[in-house]
Copies of this chain bind each other. A is one copy, B any other.
Amino acid sequence: MQFVKKDILDMASLSVEEISLILDTADRMKEISERPVKKVPTLRGRTIVLFFYEASTRTRTSFDIAAKRLSADSISISASTSSMVKGETLIDTARNIEAMNADVIVMRHSSSGAPHMLAKRLKASVINAGDGTHAHPSQALLDMMTVRENKGTLRDLRIAIIGDISHSRVARSDIAGFTKMGADVVLAGPPTMIPRGIETLGVSVVHNIDNAIHGADVIMMLRIQKERQKGFLFSTEREYARVFGLSKERLRKHAKDDVLIMHPGPVNRGVEISPDVADGPYSVILDQVTNGVAVRMALLYLVSGGVRNASSD
């Protein structure tokens, strides 16, 4: 099967076949990062622009490493240094990047839909690296890769996603991806942090974390985004940890023996997850980071028209 999408904007617009192809490709890409010489010439001479309007270390670094491991040239542009301060519109800036013969624009933006707007107007490929509260498809794909790697399949698994669903583009993309691949998704969190009517997306909602954990194959804890909340959604961090935090005790009481603990990072240790759980035997949090590079290599490769077997390069 050949990949024909120009852009990767959200999970909703990817088919089951496309997702499977991405995950298969990512599995092969992962091998490259395990070699002493972690580099293949696949995208040599391609220009990849990392265009980040929101601060990001891990996602930007992950894409940057992914581009370099495929021998592409990667160029970082951040909001603070960009012409935005001179009053240029987003689309003008993007057209300028394209005019420099950029092949792929990886974009993070605080406005939901910004990458979609660019994708429609540009011939260059656009990969959404997180837009507002809307989508973060590469994160969902690395989550799915990590689960599939450990469980062999995504079908019929019970995935519990716990925390601030309302503000989380990770949750939105995970819901779209995991349900599409046949998993059952259950959400838990404070009522103020779960959007009304989200059950229409084919998920179930509980307000008690213990119920969500019960029988779950995967527990995905979300980050409490302190900088977005300004304190009014929950009284204190300590209170949040007591009611919705994942502790060793809670895990021992309610979780399955082979549960996977995941977190998109950065972790607030002692708030949404206790340190002994984050670093414990069920945690695959660092595997998620490792797989993030592989997924991003796959995405860069596939939108660039890659069809050859990457690992044979």
Given A33-B100, A68-B75, list of 17 further CB < 8 A pairs?
A: A35-B45, A39-B45, A39-B73, A47-B65, A57-B77, A57-B81, A61-B75, A78-B81, A83-B265, A83-B266, A86-B227, A86-B266, A87-B268, A88-B267, A89-B269, A93-B266, A96-B265
Number of copies of chain A assembled together? 3
Within 8 A of B (CB), among A77-133: 77-78, 81-83, 85-89, 92-93, 95-97, 99-101
Q: Are A62 and B100 in contact (CB under 8 A)?
A: yes
The 10 closest A-B pairs by CB, nearest first: A37-B45, A88-B266, A39-B45, A99-B289, A68-B73, A99-B286, A83-B266, A33-B101, A57-B82, A57-B83
A55 to B33, CA, bound (A): 30
Could you say which residues of chain B place their CB within 8 Å of the CB of A60? 81
Q: How far is the CB of A256 from chain B (nearest CB, A)?
A: 25
Q: Are B101 and A55 in contact (CB under 8 A)?
A: no
**Number of A positions contacting B (CB below 8 A):** 57
A223 to B92, CA, bound (A): 14
**Nearest-CB residue, chain B, relative to A101:** B33
**Nearest-CB residue, chain B, relative to A56:** B81
User: Residue-by-residue, is A47-59 near B (CB-CB < 8 Å gives 1, otherwise 0)?
Assistant: 1010000011110
Residue A292 CB within 8 A of the other chain? yes
Residue A313 CB within 8 A of the other chain? no
- Interface residue ranges, A against B (CB under 8 Å): 33-39, 44-47, 49, 55-58, 60-62, 64-65, 68-69, 73, 75, 77-78, 81-83, 85-89, 92-93, 95-97, 99-101, 223, 226-227, 265-269, 286-287, 289-290, 292-293
Q: List 10 A-B contacts (CB under 8 A).
A: A55-B81, A57-B82, A57-B93, A58-B83, A61-B75, A61-B97, A65-B75, A69-B73, A95-B286, A100-B290
Q: Are B266 and A38 in contact (CB under 8 A)?
A: no
Interface centre among A37, A65, A96, A269 (most CB of B within 10 A): A96
